[in-house]
């Protein structure tokens, strides 16, 4: 309906003109058509949000460009607006920005996740184009947090830029780029609620001015609940703070995740003639929170177990420069999963998302990025304090925000750094506690009605230093069953902490294993990145936390897979602990959470979304999981009733005797049913009659669905006559007791899980295939890679150059296909190597791969056989 759109536009234009004439405040984004350059010689046109690291943080080269980026834009400003005050606002630039107007430097801002602005009025040329230049720097800077963390520090102007035009009397922009007013609730109950507004008003005129500040409170349906007018005399050339109590609201509707009832408060500043000068609107949510070390979290006087996720802001293909519509979808997906809490980790996210949390009913933990370590300098302390001030003031008014944090795992670098002297280590501890103490005090002072929080990792140092007792809620990031011990150790640890620190409120602020949807297995294990292990860990953790009333809640690490440049999970440069993938396609576990958290609508999910290319031998069956918020159901396979099932903890596990080909699965419960198909290859012998390819993931206990080769590699096994398997060798990187870790970040391969698992010391591998011609791919990688000194990499093996020398001959039956094979010498580090040969099998000899050692122990990662 184009004519309606035109009408709306012309109305909008008209309104703007009227407001401009009348002197109304106006803000517009200036995101389009910036010039960007990395070297000031070649320029390209870009739009904001923008980053220069969305590609290089994911390529094969180690590192990503951390340095300078230059932005330029011209803006025409007419002399009609000469009487106005102009602000230039940046909603986030990572991480240091220096701004110039018409060649003059007007200011600098440190910190990549909060907004800042400058009054640019005196730098403007009227009736002319004004040149805005921004120099952005994302190089490592010892004085700006975060110094180090498990996520990529993409450089650029990645949130909106706004040009704001104001009349001389307006809500201040100068209080750490806040909105110039703060909402407090002196008392809220089911009977009544009070609102107190602190407004900071500026008058830049040279004479004092009589104004009226008018408040109107609307309910969610847009009806006026009450209004109030305050007559204010603004002194000349001053910024003043006014505290105003609004009329009491009787029988307020309370805000909660179940019923996120929002009122709107409109604040209008008028001059003595009643002309509007400036106006703001804010969400009002009546709610109160408290904690109890024995009984957890309370909202509006009732206990509520906080269960939800952590979120990072980046997104596949975009880095941190993510379109707002996509970001908002995240919040909707998180709500839809049944979450009642989000931890915006490890830095403040876009304010639009907090607004959405207000609307959808999600409690928020928000924090600043002081992660892993501090620098003991005045400059670092100053940046941290001012960052927290911006954070508190810019995010203060969202009713969803209940927890303000300021540190994450602040001792992790210290405890992993064995190069520190005792004195250095003591000094670092002291300075970290000192900064935490200052930030805690600041947070309590500026946000007296919020909870304070901090997260630590599994180490006694948080208790010993007393840092864990500073915040009102201490968050433990616990990875039992991943980085540490086993899944059941979670509860044991928490019970012990609760006993030793009975007055401390705790939240499980992070937990979760890495999981890749291409990996599935009957025997899930720590570090295998299987979705099955992910299911196992999350299901158990949920049970362990919900059984413990003293735990305030749990936030899974992480809502989505995210970029971490130095990391080597099953996808390089991506931390894969997400409940949804980097492109936000849900993994099955997302639906499991929905089935335990979302009780509103009947829900069932057959967890076979990624069960692709399952190969089963003879009469083998395969267990699948079904998730539901119902009590029971019936499972059908290919039209036949299979089993009556009961859902416990949201899940039922069923053995499925799949047929060859496409299988129909149907789950029926009283109120809902779901159907899925699974394609299965059932084979009795390796006869290549019903299949053309056969791939084995050597050294692995899991299936790997390799999209690139369009084949699902089967798990490895010991040789069995008439079948396939190894005659000797040990799986590398997957041994039960040693957290040996996997070789990660393999070059020349998109199929990391194929290369990452391997057999070491294998001299003979047999595959009993019939006579005929075949193309055989053998896959290799040298596992003794030099691991980047990094706490997040799973490989704990020390590099040992003597072990690196493995030289072997490779035979397919009696054919020598590679002589003196020396991976370390012939290929770059971590290089995935494929040897392809055609072989003819005769006389029922089958295929034998012989790896004859000349020096050291041979290795092999996989085999793919194709009938030709
Ligand atoms: C943590 C950190 C988080 C990491 C996570 C992990 O404890 O707080 O930033 O990404 O562990 O995946 O290792």
Q: How far is the CA of 101 from the centre of ligand 1 (A)?
A: 40
Contacts for 766 with CB less than 8 Å, ≥ 6 apart: 719, 724, 725, 727, 846, 847, 848, 849
The answer to whether the pTM exceeds 0.90 is yes
Closest of 399, 193, 182 to residue 289, by C-alpha: 399
Cβ(863)–Cβ(780) below 8 Å = no
Domain positions in the chain are 22-167, 186-284, 289-600, 614-683, 693-867
Closest of 354, 199, 195, 365 to residue 287, by C-alpha: 195
Cβ(456)–Cβ(476) below 8 Å = yes
With residue 498 as reference, give the H or E element that holds it: helix 489-500
Q: How far is the CA of 558 from the centre of ligand 1 (A)?
A: 9
Q: Which two tokens stand for residue 137?
A: 């720097």
Q: How far is the CA of 590 from the centre of ligand 1 (A)?
A: 19
Q: How far is the CA of 79 from the centre of ligand 1 (A)?
A: 52
> What is the residue with the minimal CA distance to atom 3 of ligand 1?
150
Q: Has domain 614-683 been given CATH number 2.60.40.10?
A: yes
Closest of 657, 617, 661, 618 to residue 636, by C-alpha: 657
Cβ(185)–Cβ(227) below 8 Å = no
Classify residue 624 as left (phi > 0), alpha (psi -120 to 50) or beta.
beta
Positive or negative, the CA dihedral 448, 450, 456, 460 is positive
CATH H superfamily, domain 22-167? Galactose-binding domain-like (2.60.120.260)
Q: How many CA atoms lie within 13 A of 481 on its CB side?
A: 24
Predicted confidence at residue 25, as pLDDT, reads: 80
Q: How far is the CA of 412 from the centre of ligand 1 (A)?
A: 10
> Which top CATH class is 186-284?
mainly beta
Q: Which two tokens stand for residue 315?
A: 């997104």
pLDDT digits (tens, 9 = 90+) for 424-463: 999 999 999 999 999 999 999 999 999 999 999 999 999 9
Query: Token match 């924090």: residue?
Result: 367
Query: Token match 């806040």: residue?
Result: 178
Q: Which atom of ligand 1 is nearest to the CA of 483?
A: 13
pLDDT band of residue 741 (cuts 50, 70, 90) is low
Predicted confidence at residue 742, as pLDDT, reads: 65
Predicted confidence at residue 22, as pLDDT, reads: 52
Residue 97 to residue 106: CA distance in whole angstroms: 11
Closest of 476, 471, 485 to residue 458, by C-alpha: 476
Closest of 317, 409, 321 to residue 47, by C-alpha: 321
Predicted confidence at residue 803, as pLDDT, reads: 47
Q: How far is the CA of 593 from the centre of ligand 1 (A)?
A: 21
How far are the Cα atoms of 36, 92, 311, 314 from residue 112, in angstroms, in the given order?
Answer: 18, 6, 17, 14
pLDDT digits (tens, 9 = 90+) for 328-350: 999 999 999 999 999 999 999 99
Q: Do domains 22-167 and 693-867 have the same CATH topology?
A: yes
Residue 827 to residue 245: CA distance in whole angstroms: 73
Q: Please check the confidence at residue 21 and state whether its pLDDT lies above 50.
A: no
Q: How far is the CA of 793 from the centre of ligand 1 (A)?
A: 11
Q: Which of 173-187, 272-286, 511-525, 819-833 has the lowest mean pLDDT?
A: 819-833
Positive or negative, the CA dihedral 206, 211, 217, 222 is negative
> What is the residue with the minimal CA distance to atom 5 of ligand 1?
150
Ligand 1 interacting residues, C-beta cut-off 6 A:
149-150, 408-409, 457, 477, 510, 557, 575, 577, 792
Which of 510, 560, 577 to probe ligand 1 with, by most ligand atoms within 8 A of CB?
510
Q: Please check the confidence at residue 88 and state whether its pLDDT lies above 50.
A: yes
Q: Which atom of ligand 1 is nearest to the CA of 577?
A: 12
With residue 546 as reference, give the H or E element that holds it: helix 531-546
State whether residue 526 is helix, strand or coil.
Answer: coil
Q: How far is the CA of 312 from the centre of ligand 1 (A)?
A: 11
Which of 150, 479, 574 to probe ligand 1 with, by most ligand atoms within 8 A of CB?
150
pLDDT digits (tens, 9 = 90+) for 390-399: 999 999 999 9
Q: How far is the CA of 143 from the centre of ligand 1 (A)?
A: 22
Q: Which atom of ligand 1 is nearest to the CA of 477?
A: 7
Q: How far apart are the first and last CA of the chain?
A: 59
- Interstrand relation of 862-867 and 847-855 (parallel, antiparallel or unpaired): unpaired
Q: Please check the confidence at residue 235 and state whether its pLDDT lies above 60.
A: yes
Q: How far is the CA of 347 from the centre of ligand 1 (A)?
A: 13
How far are the Cα atoms of 467, 474, 739, 811, 841 from residue 844, in angstroms, in the given order?
Answer: 70, 66, 41, 18, 7
Q: Which atom of ligand 1 is nearest to the CA of 575?
A: 12
Q: Which two tokens stand for residue 307?
A: 């269960």
Long-range own/partner contacts, residues 794-803 (CB < 8 A, 24 or more apart): 794/527, 794/568, 794/739, 794/741, 794/742, 794/744, 795/568, 795/733, 795/740, 795/741, 795/742, 795/743, 795/744, 796/739, 796/740, 796/741, 797/740, 797/741, 803/856
CATH code, 693-867: 2.60.120.430
> What is the residue with the minimal CA distance to atom 1 of ligand 1?
477
Query: Token match 């009961």: residue?
Result: 646
Closest of 34, 57, 61, 55 to residue 45, by C-alpha: 34
Q: Provide the edge-to-edge strand list for the sheet that holds 807-812.
A: 724-726, 764-767, 847-855, 807-812, 815-821
Q: Please check the confidence at residue 858 and state whether its pLDDT lies above 50.
A: yes
Q: Which of 6-10, 346-350, 487-491, 721-725 has the lowest mean pLDDT?
A: 6-10
Q: Which atom of ligand 1 is nearest to the CA of 510?
A: 7
Q: Which atom of ligand 1 is nearest to the CA of 455?
A: 8
> What is the residue with the minimal CA distance to atom 13 of ligand 1?
792
What is the rounded radius of gyration, in angstroms, for the C-alpha atoms of the chain?
Answer: 31
Positive or negative, the CA dihedral 609, 610, 613, 618 is negative
Q: How far is the CA of 630 from the centre of ligand 1 (A)?
A: 34
Q: Which two tokens stand for residue 730?
A: 């040990």
Q: Please check the confidence at residue 15 and state whether its pLDDT lies above 50.
A: no
Query: Token match 């396939």: residue?
Result: 724
How far are the Cα atoms of 51, 240, 273 from residue 724, in angstroms, in the given order?
Answer: 50, 81, 90
CATH architecture, domain defined by 289-600: Alpha-Beta Barrel (3.20)
Query: Token match 């039209």: residue?
Result: 639
pLDDT band of residue 23 (cuts 50, 70, 90) is low
Which of 312, 409, 478, 578 to probe ligand 1 with, by most ligand atoms within 8 A of CB?
409
- DSSP label at residue 332: H
pLDDT digits (tens, 9 = 90+) for 622-666: 999 999 999 999 999 999 999 999 999 999 999 999 999 999 999
Q: Which atom of ligand 1 is nearest to the CA of 562?
A: 10
Closest of 207, 298, 201, 291 to residue 254, by C-alpha: 298
Cβ(529)–Cβ(515) below 8 Å = yes
Q: How far is the CA of 153 from the centre of ligand 1 (A)?
A: 15
How far is Cα of residue 348 from the mean position of the Cα atoms in its chain? 12
Q: Please check the confidence at residue 802 and state whether its pLDDT lies above 80.
A: no
Neighbours of 490 (CB within 10 A): 26
Q: Which atom of ligand 1 is nearest to the CA of 412?
A: 7
Q: Is 664 exposed, middle or buried (0-12, 13-18, 19+ CB in 10 A)?
A: middle
Q: Which atom of ligand 1 is nearest to the CA of 408?
A: 8
Q: How far is the CA of 308 from the centre of ligand 1 (A)?
A: 16
State whether residue 186 is helix, strand or coil.
Answer: coil
Q: Which atom of ligand 1 is nearest to the CA of 512?
A: 12
Helix segments in 702-800, DSSP class H: 752-756
pLDDT digits (tens, 9 = 90+) for 109-153: 999 999 999 999 999 999 999 999 999 999 999 999 999 999 999
Q: How far is the CA of 149 from the centre of ligand 1 (A)?
A: 8
Q: How far is the CA of 150 from the centre of ligand 1 (A)?
A: 6
ipTM score assigned to the predicted complex: 0.99
Closest of 670, 679, 753, 770 to residue 716, by C-alpha: 753
Predicted confidence at residue 184, as pLDDT, reads: 98
> What is the residue with the minimal CA distance to atom 7 of ligand 1?
477
Closest of 466, 514, 306, 350 to residue 454, by C-alpha: 466
Which of 575, 744, 793 to probe ligand 1 with, by most ligand atoms within 8 A of CB?
575
């Amino acid at each position: 309906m184009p004519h309606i759109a035109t009408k709306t536009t012309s109305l909008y234009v008209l309104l703007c003109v009227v407001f401009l004439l009348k002197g109304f405040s106006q803000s517009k984004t200036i995101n389009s058509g910036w010039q960007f350059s990395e070297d000031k010689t070649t320029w390209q046109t870009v739009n904001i949000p923008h980053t220069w690291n969305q590609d290089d943080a994911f390529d094969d080269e180690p590192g990503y460009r951390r340095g300078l980026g230059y932005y330029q834009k011209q803006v025409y400003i007419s002399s009609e607006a000469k009487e106005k005050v102009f602000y230039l606002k940046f909603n986030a630039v990572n991480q240091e920005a220096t701004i110039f107007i018409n060649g003059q430097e007007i200011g600098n801002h440190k910190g990549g996740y909060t907004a800042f602005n400058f009054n640019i009025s005196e730098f403007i040329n009227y009736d002319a184009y004004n040149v805005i230049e921004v120099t952005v720097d994302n190089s490592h800077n010892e004085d700006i947090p975060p110094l180090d963390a498990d996520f990529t520090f993409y450089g650029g102007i990645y949130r909106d830029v706004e040009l704001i035009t104001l009349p001389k009397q307006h809500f201040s922009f100068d209080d750490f780029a806040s909105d110039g007013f703060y909402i407090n609730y002196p008392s809220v109950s089911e009977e009544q609620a009070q609102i107190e507004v602190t407004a900071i008003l500026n008058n830049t005129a040279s004479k004092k001015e009589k104004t009226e500040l008018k408040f109107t409170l609307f309910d969610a349906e847009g009806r006026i609940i009450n209004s109030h007018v305050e007559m204010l005399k603004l002194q000349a050339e001053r910024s003043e703070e006014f505290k105003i109590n609004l009329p009491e609201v009787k029988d307020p509707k309370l805000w909660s995740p179940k019923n996120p009832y929002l009122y709107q408060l409109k604040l209008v500043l008028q001059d003595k003639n009643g002309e509007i000068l400036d106006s703001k609107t804010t969400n009002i949510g009546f709610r109160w929170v408290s904690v109890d070390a024995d009984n957890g979290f309370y909202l509006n006087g009732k206990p509520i177990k906080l269960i939800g996720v952590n979120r990072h802001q980046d997104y596949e293909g975009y880095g941190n420069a993510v379109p707002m519509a996509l970001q908002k979808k995240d919040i909707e997906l998180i709500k839809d999963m049944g979450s009642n809490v989000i931890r915006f980790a490890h830095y403040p996210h876009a304010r639009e998302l907090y607004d959405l949390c207000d609307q959808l009913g999600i409690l928020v933990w928000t924090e600043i990025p002081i992660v892993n370590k501090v620098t003991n300098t005045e400059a670092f302390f100053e940046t941290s304090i001012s960052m927290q001030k911006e954070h508190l003031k810019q995010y203060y008014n969202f009713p969803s925000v209940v927890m303000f944090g300021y540190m994450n795992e602040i001792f992790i670098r210290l405890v992993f750094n064995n190069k520190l002297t005792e004195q250095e280590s003591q000094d670092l501890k002291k300075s970290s506690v000192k900064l935490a103490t200052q930030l805690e005090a600041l947070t309590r002072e500026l946000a007296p009605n919020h909870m304070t929080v901090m997260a630590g990792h599994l180490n006694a140092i948080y208790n010993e230093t007393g840092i864990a007792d500073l915040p009102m809620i201490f968050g433990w990031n616990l990875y039992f069953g991943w980085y540490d011990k086993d899944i059941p150790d979670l509860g044991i640890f928490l019970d012990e902490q609760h006993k030793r620190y009975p007055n401390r409120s705790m939240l499980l602020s992070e937990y979760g294993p890495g999981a890749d949807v291409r990996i599935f297995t009957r025997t899930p294990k720590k570090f295998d990145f299987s979705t099955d292990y992910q299911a196992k860990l999350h299901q158990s953790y949920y049970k362990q936390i919900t059984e413990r009333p003293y735990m305030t809640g749990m936030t899974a690490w992480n809502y989505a897979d995210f970029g971490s440049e130095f990391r080597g999970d099953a996808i390089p440069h991506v931390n894969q602990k997400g409940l949804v993938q980097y492109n936000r396609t849900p993994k099955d576990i997302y639906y499991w959470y929905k089935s335990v958290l979302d009780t509103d609508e009947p829900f069932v999910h057959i967890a076979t979304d990624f069960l692709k290319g399952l190969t089963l031998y003879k009469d083998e069956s395969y267990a699948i999981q079904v998730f539901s918020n119902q009590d029971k159901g019936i499972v059908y396979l290919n039209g036949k009733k299979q089993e009556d099932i009961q859902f416990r903890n949201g899940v039922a596990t069923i053995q499925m005797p799949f047929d060859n080909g496409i299988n129909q699965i149907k789950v029926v419960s009283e109120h809902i049913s779901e159907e899925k198909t699974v394609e299965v290859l059932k084979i009795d012998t390796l006869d290549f009659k019903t299949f053309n390819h056969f791939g084995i993931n050597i050294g692995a206990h899991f299936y790997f669905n390799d999209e690139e080769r369009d084949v699902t590699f089967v798990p490895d096994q010991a040789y069995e006559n008439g079948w396939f398997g190894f005659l000797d060798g040990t799986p590398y990187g997957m041994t039960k007791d040693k957290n040996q870790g996997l070789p990660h970040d393999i070059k020349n391969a998109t199929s990391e899980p194929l290369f990452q698992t391997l057999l070491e010391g294998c001299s003979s591998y047999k595959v009993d295939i019939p006579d005929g011609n075949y193309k055989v791919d053998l896959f290799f990688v040298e596992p003794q890679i030099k691991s980047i000194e990094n706490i997040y990499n799973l490989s704990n093996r020390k590099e040992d150059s003597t072990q690196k020398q493995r030289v072997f001959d490779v035979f397919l039956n009696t054919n020598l296909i590679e002589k003196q094979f020396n991976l370390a010498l012939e290929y770059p580090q971590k290089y995935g190597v494929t040897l392809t040969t055609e072989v003819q099998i005769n006389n029922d000899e089958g295929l034998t791969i012989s790896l004859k050692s000349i020096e050291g122990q041979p290795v092999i990662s996989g085999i793919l056989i194709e009938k030709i």
